Chains A and B, each alone.
Chain A
Amino acid sequence: AQTVTQSQPEMSVQEAETVTLSCTYDTSESDYYLFWYKQPPSRQMILVIRQEAYKQQNATENRFSVNFQKAAKSFSLKISDSQLGDAAMYFCAYRFGGGADGLTFGKGTHLIIQP
């Protein structure tokens, strides 16, 4: 079974600085998708970015980018120019691409933004 590991329970960064959140996963599949979700205090789950395993190019969405290392099974999220509104729990998630399946989540990283 696939597993997702987020080794940083909590991270803190100064406003306007850059922070990187780590995620590793374990799977025997070659076709899969990876996601980062943000959960602010409102508890709403918000998709931040997605990466298809077959794509070599790292996904980017404005200030958010990923470093996808398929061989190392690593999928880190970089947030540039951190803003107070980025403060939230961040969850890394995996989904098998070959058919119907739900998301497998890591335990999350609590990101604190210091003003």
Chain B
Amino acid sequence: DSGVTQTPKHLITATGQRVTLRCSPRSGDLSVYWYQQSLDQGLQFLIQYYNGEERAKGNILERFSAQQFPDLHSELNLSSLELGDSALYFCASSPWTDNEQFFGPGTRLTVL
């Protein structure tokens, strides 16, 4: 158990819908990262937040957005969902921006 929690574990929805994935980092970690793992694209970095502010952006689509709240939990919002958005979404956390990252168990998103 890495100490990073993600909810829900599984999510099934339809094309065109919007969903929110939630992540609680390890106690004391200020940095949160979001990753997408799909068969087509492999593991891709989406976005990073540090102490409430966006710090780095990866291959995140415009339909996707994220935020980190004052209690340091983070949410990833996915809108206008397409079949290709079906993937495993990981959250990871670290104490600072240059420490190793600890991954949560992931949220499996299925878009039908």
Q: CB within 8 Å of A: which residues of B?
A: 2, 31, 33, 35, 42-48, 50, 55-56, 58, 88, 90, 92, 97-98, 100-103, 105-106
Contacts and interface: CB of A to CB of B under 8 A. Distances in A.
Given A43-B88, A43-B106, A108-B42, A103 B48 contact: no
B45 A103 contact: yes
Contacts of A45: 90, 92, 103, 106
Contact of A100 (B92, B97, B105): B97
Interface of A: 33, 35, 37, 42-47, 50, 91, 97, 99-108
B106 A97 contact: no
Contacts of B50: 100
A23 to B, nearest CB: 14
Contacts of B103: 37, 44-46
A9 to B, nearest CB: 12
Contacts of B106: 43-45
A8 B58 CA distance: 26
Given A102-B48, A102-B58, A47 B42 contact: no
Nearest to B102: A47
A42 B103 CA distance: 13
Nearest to A31: B98
Given A43-B106, A44-B105, A108-B42, A99 B100 contact: no
Given A43-B105, A47-B102, A91 B97 contact: no
A102 B56 contact: yes
A102 B42 contact: no
Contacts of A108: 42-43
> Among the interface residues B44, B46, B47, which one has the most CB atoms of the partner chain A within 10 A?
B44
A51 B47 CA distance: 23
A102 B35 contact: yes
B105 A101 contact: no
B97 A99 contact: yes
A90 B94 CA distance: 21
